[in-house]
Copies of this chain bind each other. A is one copy, B any other.
Amino acid sequence: MIRDHGGNLDLAQERFGGRLEEWIDLSTGINRQAYPAPTLEPRHWKALPSPSDIAALHTAARQAYGCSASVLAVAGAQAAIQLLPHLAPAGRARILAPTYNEFAPVLTAAGWQVDEVGEIEALAAADIAVVVNPNNPDGRQHEPSGLLALRSRVKRLVIDESFADAVPQASLAAEAGRAGLLVLRSFGKFYGLAGLRLGFVLGSADDISALDAMAGPWPVSGVAIEIGRKALLDRDWADTTRARLEMDARRLDALAVSVGWRLIGGTPLFRLYDVGNALAMREQLARARIWSRIFTDKPNWLRLGLPGHETEWMRLSEALSVC
């Protein structure tokens, strides 16, 4: 039941050896310069999260995302995807593709008729329409105004903004209160803390209330609630990180171009390149203990997250110069 995802260092180790700590995992879009974990009080590990803890996290999320609508914290954007099929009786879902490979099978497994379409126009008349913006893995971006116009032409429009923290101008979070619009946010990618399992759904009061009932009490750990709240309120860190990621993305592109790769697209958290033989390139990088993401149906695509500290840049540069 496990589909192909980035971040699976098990496979890297199994195939290419090495100790876990030797590997640089660039197979995901998770920021490798994580938000520094604050000191925690024991109650965050020991006690059930309280309604006021959760309310404070929701307030922080609204502030960070520029959203005045209802918000629900869940155990990662993935957890929100798992709930989507149960928000309405199974009907017709349309997904703008190619994109993140979890929407289609999760909806299909719950009885939905799923079509993957290539253009926004073709999403019209769906009971659930899904757009990942910016898109994973190609970074394709859609104008917020165009997406808003689509809202009235579908029953429910789901915008997955898992990679929007680095490009806030692309976000529809400010519009999330409108009926029929749901915005998914990931905490772990931009803040580099994917292991905490934290994400959010922003939407109308009715939809959020229904999702809340399905998620049940305490879906998120006390540790994630406390770290998430502090991180989301830290605007300075977010601004500095956005600027740094933009610069680093350009640096990675320059490195890639210098070895003859072609940029297909990306976000400041990951870049997608045409590298010719992606399988061979992945193995080349893997021999240097750098893990990358390839795609079975796109033999020339290779996706790379951004290296973190300078030593990681040096190792990547060396691994590429060998090519």
Contact = CB atoms under 8 A, between A and B. Distances in A.
Interface of A: 1-3, 5, 7-10, 20, 25, 28, 30, 32, 34, 37, 42-52, 75-76, 78-79, 81-82, 86, 102, 106, 109-110, 188, 192-197, 209, 212-224, 227
Contact of A8 (B50, B192, B224): B50
A292 to B, nearest CB: 15
Contacts of A28: 48
B45 A195 contact: yes
A209 B1 contact: yes
Which residue, A46, A102, A214, has most C-beta atoms of chain B within 10 A?
A: A46
Contact of A216 (B30, B78, B213): B78
Given A2-B217, A79-B219, A221-B75, A194 B46 contact: yes
A195 B221 contact: yes
A49 B43 CA distance: 23
A2 B79 contact: no
Contacts of A188: 48
How many copies of the chain does the oligomer comprise? 2
A196 B222 contact: yes
Nearest to A188: B48
21 contacts: A1-B212, A2-B51, A7-B48, A9-B50, A20-B43, A37-B45, A44-B195, A47-B194, A48-B188, A48-B195, A75-B75, A75-B218, A78-B216, A78-B217, A82-B215, A82-B216, A86-B86, A109-B213, A197-B220, A197-B221, A221-B223
A100 to B, nearest CB: 12
A5 B42 CA distance: 21
Contacts of A43: 20, 195
